[in-house]
Structures are given as C-alpha cells and as structure tokens.
Amino acid sequence: MARIQLNDVHVDFPLLQWEHRSFKRLLSAPFTRSRFGSDSRKGLVLHALRRINLTLEHGDRVAVIGSNGSGKSTLLRVLAGIYPPVAGTAVIEGRIGALLTTGLGMRDDISGYENIEFCLLLQGVRADEIASRRDEIAAFTELGEYLDLHVGAYSSGMRVRLAFAISTALDPDILIIDEVFGAGDVAFMKKAERRMMDLIARSKILVFASHAPELLEQFCDMAIWLDGGEIRRNGPIKEVQDAYLGSVLG
C-alpha cells in the first residue's frame, strides 16, 4: 500500500559563497530573516522547508502550488528520497517514480543504450529485467541508430526524448512530477502525452507541481500551497488555488 508520512520535516541548504558581512546584513533584513539562519558550525543556511507535516494515502491526487522559491521542488525531492530532512522524519512506502530534472542521472560520455541501462539501475530495476525494459525504452524514443552514439552528441530534442522515455518506463506506486516538459516534435509529443496519461492513471499517489492551474485541476483534487518553505494552506484544489491566486494578484 502506497503511503507518505512527513512529520515536522525541515530542510536546510548551506550557502557557502557568502562573506561574514553579507551574513550579518542578510540576517538583519526583516523580509528574509525567516528563511536564513546559521547551522551548528555558524555557517549560513537557507531554510528551504520548515515544519512540513503531510500525510498522503492510496488514491490521493495532490497539487503543489506556490511562487518561485517557495520550496515546491525541494518538497518533491524530499518525497522522491533525494533530499534527506535535517530534522523530522519522512516515511515513504511504495515504489517512487519521479519526473523532475530532465535527464537526471544521464551521462554525456556514454551511449544512449548505456544511459538507459545506467538510469534503470539507478531506479532500482533488477539486472535480469534490464534487457527487456531497455528494448521498450529504445523503441519508444524512435532514435534508432543514434542510441549507439554517446549522448554528448545529441541535440536537445534527442536528449529530452531519451530522458522522457527512461523516466516514464516504470510503473510507480507514487508518481512525483515537477512541471511537464515537452518531448520533441508534435507527433512524438502526442505519443508522450498518452504515455504520461497512462502513468498518472496507474499511479496510486500523485504529487504534481505546476504553474498551470487548469492542468493541476485536470489531474488533482487536493492542493498544498507552499509559501516561504512552509505549508500555508491545504485542502480542496479549487479553494487553495483561489486563495493563492488572490494573494498573488492582490
């Protein structure tokens, strides 16, 4: 059974480039005081997430909204197991599929085929399943003999095709999406859209961050509004989105 439980989760990022004078000035600014502080070694840190409490169960379809820098991508990476909390606990039960940074884990110095195998291993696919999944991904990309070339020689469109095909090859219990990226020409994008719809339909829990209200309302019935690294409001998606847009538009 898929389940997510975050209890009082905090995530900090060290800011290594700041001088002492900048540190003092930053801490004295009222509008930033709540997002910056120091760690146990007196180094400057950004409080990316604070006091996050969240429970998601089988069947939940949750949108994550908020302005740039509000903590959306950080939260998704906590849910994907990429960022560990510095305080609090994150319990995630179920197989995770994360569509985050395009091409996450891909290497320019090896071929398309080798990248498929490498990324599948990173996602925990068993060695005896690699060959069959590799062939399915290769066929979906429609890259043909280009898959024998190192990825550093690919155009941006070819890279996106390969990254999308790899990212959507598995059947996750928990599907985490940070925006939706285009995947090549019009014909391929239609095929990619169908694949994405199937993936969303099969997932047991969906967490979807986007700046497109209509898209979120199409797939989600609940929403979380992040503001300054904290959950400002959660509940039915229409109510949360109206409150967020009212705050943004004044």
Residues 190 and 125 in one domain: yes
Residue-level pLDDT, tens digit, the chain, 250 residues? 899 999 999 998 887 665 554 545 545 544 444 566 665 565 677 889 999 999 999 999 999 999 998 999 999 999 988 899 999 999 999 988 888 765 667 899 999 999 999 989 888 888 899 999 999 999 999 999 999 999 999 998 898 889 889 988 888 999 999 886 566 677 788 888 888 899 999 999 999 998 888 889 999 999 999 999 999 999 999 999 999 999 888 6
> Which pLDDT value is given to residue 203?
95
- Number of domains composing the chain: 2
> Which pLDDT value is given to residue 33?
46
Residues 147 and 220 in one domain: no
Question: pLDDT of 186-211, one tens digit each?
Answer: 778 888 888 889 999 999 999 999 88
Residues 62 and 112 in one domain: no
pTM: 0.83
Residues 49 and 68 in one domain: yes
Residues 85 and 172 in one domain: no
Residues 141 and 111 in one domain: yes
HEC string of the chain equals: CCEEEEEEEEEEEECCCCCHHHHHHHHHCCCCHHHEEECCCCCEEEEEEEEEEEEEECCCEEEEECCCCCCHHHHHHHHCCCCCCCEEEEEEECCEEEECCCCCCCCCCCEHHHHHHHHHHHCCCCHHHHHHHHHHHHHHHCCHHHHHCEHHHCCHHHHHHHHHHHHCCCCCCEEEEECCCCCCCHHHHHHHHHHHHHHHHHCCEEEEECCCHHHHHHHCCEEEEEECCEEEEEEEHHHHHHHHHHHHHC
Domain-terminating residue out of 203, 221, 237? 203
Residues 104 and 195 in one domain: yes
> Which pLDDT value is given to residue 86?
93
Segments forming the whole domain that contains residue 143: 99-203
Residues 87 and 14 in one domain: yes
Residues 83 and 108 in one domain: no
CATH value at residue 180: 3.40.50.300
Residues 167 and 133 in one domain: yes
